[in-house]
Structure 1
Amino acid sequence: MTAADGYRTSAISLVHRQFEFAGTDVIRRHLSELLKLYPEVDPSRSYPLSWFVFRITGVAAEDESDEDLVISGTDLLADASLLIDRLASRLGPEPFDPELDVTADDVALRLGVSRRTVQRWKPFGLPMWLARSSNGGARSVCRILIVDAFIARNESRIEKAGRAREDRVSKKTAGLESPRAVRSQADRARIARLIGRGQQWLIPLVELQDRVDRSRPVVRRLALQARVDHLGVVERPTFVPPNLDRPDASEVFGVAGSLDGDADEQSRRSLTEVLETVRGSLGAEDEEIVRSRIAAMHFARARAHEGLEAVQARTGAVREHDIDRVESDLRWWGMLLERATISGLGPGVQRFEQSIGRRIEQLPVKRIDDAMTLVIDGVSEAVQSFDPTRRTQGHNLDRSVGLTVSRRVARSSAWAEIKGARRRSMPESPGEISMLRCIPAPVRSLLAPVRWWRMLDGSARAEMEASPGFEKFAIRYGLQTPGRPRSLLETGRVIGVPSTRWSGEVQLLVRDLRRRAVSSLRRPIDRE
């Protein structure tokens, strides 16, 4: 068997895959058993895989082939160290226990070597993972018993490294040490692109760290910068709400911009049902509620615009809380834009059908999607340019939508050919229509968890809702009704727990949601 996923042996890689979709409680229990087992591994011996799995999980191997798999102690130390790192990253930083663990700085001091040398010795029996200190920061730690076992087995290695460090320090003092080679700009750009793509595919930072062979701080810095580069430029909204800098502005607009469940219900309807619904809802919505929602939408975009400009103007590394707030405001803006577009869809469809002289259902099948795209884009354009504070006679969303859709139809000669065409009936089972298409691409990608959630049927949603940490996930991504997307800091204030204690759990739920959404594509969605 060949190695995979950074492991020396494919056997431990398979063990890791068994833990990929386990819950946090299961991972925490298995990690605790693995840390108890680790000091007992002797690099001079070999161990059966079944023994390793049984010691961690307490489950005996049912496959007889597992009994025949034997792993050398040297490979087991390296692979188990990597497995500890990845399982710990799934949990996020746990509280530091000085009775059990010791920091990496203290380990380096005890061994008489540099901090970097301690990191290099991880595959040789010195695993490290992150723990949360009393001041809230995360620090690399190791189990005290593991350090004791490492010292007992590696006296010559430690002595040799200590002498080398003394020689290196003396050379540096004398000015004889040569400078490190500078990496090329092309190499740095390639690594940055790789990390950016990995973030979009929800690959954990610890795995990206192994793939690009860079330290965790470097990978984290590049990942945060990739998030900034992905957003590009957030344009200032056409209308900027007044009193944007008031301390209570976020609370005021947060109430006005609370999201209901209409967008979720709309996403689960067929095109025929959508058209029937919007035609029946003409004039049904309160105009003041629509105006308030659009004002909150402009507020969210204006705050995201200011936040991104501040991030790009600041010198030094990007701070996660700063870019996270920008992304959360853009998610809020995108979901409000979608909801306001649904409010204007009725007059948009009405004006389009008046312009071409036919109902959308009577168009040729190949033109139906083009028609809906024109209507949705026109309504979205009208919503984004609408000033909710203007109170002159005749200024309302329905009229703005009608004028915008009429101009779009007039600019395209393709729709003139539809006039006089014979009536056609829509297919029996037309596909669903996604209103997320009205949101620009960079922001639409931030709403991937919302799109995946809408793809699930009732039973899959019930399973997700029963998962630990779902409440935090729903608050963060605006899936509660009423609710709105929130940043890490805002979510932490709502639930009363700092984000360092639950952000890893939410990331696990996002990965699980993506897996379920992909699986749901292979079966029909339950509309009940």
Structure 2
Amino acid sequence: MAAAVAYLTQAMADLARQLAFAPVPAARKHVANALALVGEIDPDQSYPMGFVAFRITGFRVDRGLDDLVPGASIRTDLCTFVLEVSRRAPIMPDRSTGEVVTIAELAERWSVSERTLRRWRRFGLALEWFERDGAEPVLGVRESIASGVQVHQARIVARAGKFRRLAPAERRKVIEAVAREVPRTASLAQAQRSVAAAHGITAEAVRLIWQASGASAGRATRPDGWFARCAARGIPLPSIAQAAGLSTAHTSRRIVADRAARLAQTLPHVPALPTFVHAEASSVLLGAPWLGHGLVHRAPHDAAAACGTTHEANGRDFTALAALRFLLWRARAGVVGPTRPGTVDRAQVDVRWAAMLLRTLVSWHTPGVLQRLAAMMEAPVMQLPADPLRKAVELAQSCIVHAAFQIDLSTVAPHRLRIDRVAQLAFEQQLVRQPNLHAPGRAPAMHPQPVVLGDAVLRACPWIEAVAPGCGQHAGAQLLGGTAFELLAAVHGWRGDRPRSIEEMAADHGATRSAMHVRVAEAADAARRAWRASLAVH
């Protein structure tokens, strides 16, 4: 999802907020009307907002003394409105839309970056989200709109793509100049700026020429995700930068990019309920006090703990499941498309919270699902031998996870939702294929040693590992105790409370966001070193 964009006029922002609750068919009609109006607006004239509201909604509103707004601002805001509304109501390309080109294809055609195309809303380039069969919505533009912008803004489009028309000999000179400048400067970006000034072209042009050449700045390449994995282990930022041969600023950006890419690759595509796009969705869906306390943050260690006392959900299944789906949907929306450090941090907090809610649901319903197996065996489940017992518990947990993502919340009444019943049906179907697990008359088995379980939830949901702390960080934090453990426990939810963001912790401790980020990073590094020291002792 594209990063949130601001409107130039307050009146247009108010109109967009009023239409935020419109159903999908009405939202698509608003987009079509706004697109039609974009082509009619003269940027050199002024228009009353009542006229704009009527053209979008079809309703006349008595606004009293209606201020005139410059056409250039209205055209930009209309394109912003199309981008924002089409995100929650994408349309399938058809005859009414004509040919559609994706933003990546248009950027390549015009030899500009996607960021440049997003800035060209002021020229009437209305980017729009389109549906695709069996895939995520894609950001693109109607061919008719792109052709119109290219005709009316031919000079600007041509100038923006000028660097592509450099002669091959000139491109080689630019590449060679960058290679000579890199050893003399502090960073690759500084070398590219110096070469751009010397050759009379933009730094962006030099960067893309260098990138297209496949040249290397003499630094060791790192595999995908390397920066994020190092940061998750608690390795300090300067150490990561030194190992990669990059500046700390560049390394910080690479960490953010790696985190966003891993989340975007692993997070499931959760269909959005109509309520997810409302402005109050967060306060409503996440407002129940029990959603932030008494949660399960890690898998049970042994079968006895997993098969313990049955928890009474007390009709909380729908609330927990809706919150889980909303958190995953919001996190995915934050890492698809252009990302910023704060956006990725918030997405990670949402994913950690969603993982705890899922583990809590599994903890609630595992004993109830296993009752089906006990009825077939005509004996308690704990009488199974160690290996069948382990398989049965992990199978029950997998069925609960599967049920949590298969239930259609839009077709079930909140008070009638029972995840355990859906999981029990799937569990029975799996047991039919494994008759050795429920053969009656089996001699009861004794378990002098705990039957250690694997993490069935983690195996079914790889996105949980994307936000998990580095190896040994929890153990190291427990060895340290004190402030280090308190900070890391708040970030990861180790005490059963919902994970806290850096902004929330900074407000609680009366510190700035950057200072709190440093304190958390230092605590993670101390926990890593404490864990490694304990391994050396043993």
With structure 2 as the length reference, what TM-score do the two structures score?
A: 0.53
Cα distance, 1:172–1:296 mapped onto 2, change above 3 Å: closer
| Matching of residues 448-467 of structure 1 within 5 Å | 448=469, 453=474, 461=478, 464=481, 466-467=482-483
Q: Output the CA distance in 2 between the equivalents of 1:185 and 1:234.
A: 32
Cα distance, 1:511–1:424 mapped onto 2, change above 3 Å: farther
| Matching of residues 467-506 of structure 1 within 5 Å | 467=483, 471-479=486-494, 483-506=497-520
Whether the 8 Å contact between 1:345 and 1:376 is mirrored in structure 2 is yes
**1:359-398 CA distance string (max 9 Å, x none):** 4323232222222211111111112333556228964223
| Matching of residues 142-153 of structure 1 within 5 Å | none
Whether the 8 Å contact between 1:356 and 1:415 is mirrored in structure 2 is no
Deviation of the 1:213 alpha carbon: 1.7
Q: Output the CA distance in 1 between the equivalents of 2:434 and 2:217.
A: 46
Partner of 1:384: 405
**1:149-197 CA distance string (max 9 Å, x none):** xxxxxxxxxxxxxxxx9xx99x94899xx99896547988932534344
Q: Output the CA distance in 1 between the equivalents of 2:464 and 2:227.
A: 19
| Matching of residues 337-486 of structure 1 within 5 Å | 337-355=358-376, 359-387=380-408, 390-391=412-413, 395-410=417-432, 413-416=433-436, 419-420=439-440, 422-433=442-453, 437-438=457-458, 440-448=461-469, 453=474, 461=478, 464=481, 466-467=482-483, 471-479=486-494, 483-486=497-500
Q: Output the CA distance in 2 between the equivalents of 1:450 and 1:300.
A: 25
Q: Output the CA distance in 2 between the equivalents of 1:415 and 1:515.
A: 48
Amino acid paired to 2:450: P
Deviation of the 1:461 alpha carbon: 4.5
Deviation of the 1:329 alpha carbon: 1.0
**1:465-490 CA distance string (max 9 Å, x none):** x226x555443323455x31233334
Partner of 2:333: 306
Whether the 8 Å contact between 1:290 and 1:343 is mirrored in structure 2 is no
Equivalent pairs, count:
340
Whether the 8 Å contact between 2:233 and 2:524 is mirrored in structure 1 is no
Whether the 8 Å contact between 2:220 and 2:245 is mirrored in structure 1 is no
2:272 counterpart of 1:250: no
2:237 counterpart of 1:205: yes
Amino acid paired to 1:487: S
Whether the 8 Å contact between 1:253 and 1:296 is mirrored in structure 2 is yes
Deviation of the 1:418 alpha carbon: 5.0
Q: Output the CA distance in 2 between the equivalents of 1:521 and 1:353.
A: 42
| Matching of residues 104-119 of structure 1 within 5 Å | none
SS in 1 for 2:267: coil
Q: Output the CA distance in 1 between the equivalents of 2:446 and 2:380.
A: 10
With structure 1 as the length reference, what TM-score do the two structures score?
A: 0.54
Q: Output the CA distance in 2 between the equivalents of 1:327 and 1:115.
A: 35
SS in 2 for 1:430: coil
| Selected match of 1:234 from 267, 287, 290 | 267
| Matching of residues 313-332 of structure 1 within 5 Å | 313-314=337-338, 318-332=339-353
Whether the 8 Å contact between 1:271 and 1:432 is mirrored in structure 2 is yes
Partner of 1:50: none
Q: Select between 252-261 and 395-404 the one with higher mean Cα deviation.
A: 252-261
Partner of 1:286: 314
2:222 counterpart of 1:191: yes
Cα distance, 1:325–1:417 mapped onto 2, change above 3 Å: closer
Deviation of the 1:406 alpha carbon: 1.5
Q: Output the CA distance in 1 between the equivalents of 2:298 and 2:244.
A: 43
Deviation of the 1:236 alpha carbon: 2.6
Percent identity, aligned pairs only, is: 19
Q: Output the CA distance in 2 between the equivalents of 1:440 and 1:451.
A: 21
Q: Output the CA distance in 1 between the equivalents of 2:233 and 2:479.
A: 25
Q: Output the CA distance in 2 between the equivalents of 1:424 and 1:186.
A: 67
Q: Output the CA distance in 2 between the equivalents of 1:418 and 1:210.
A: 57
Partner of 2:324: 297
Amino acid paired to 1:510: A
Cα distance, 1:367–1:267 mapped onto 2, change above 3 Å: closer
Deviation of the 1:274 alpha carbon: 3.5
Deviation of the 1:215 alpha carbon: 2.3
Deviation of the 1:349 alpha carbon: 1.1
CA RMSD of aligned residues (A): 4.3
Q: Output the CA distance in 1 between the equivalents of 2:200 and 2:275.
A: 61
Cα distance, 1:450–1:200 mapped onto 2, change above 3 Å: closer
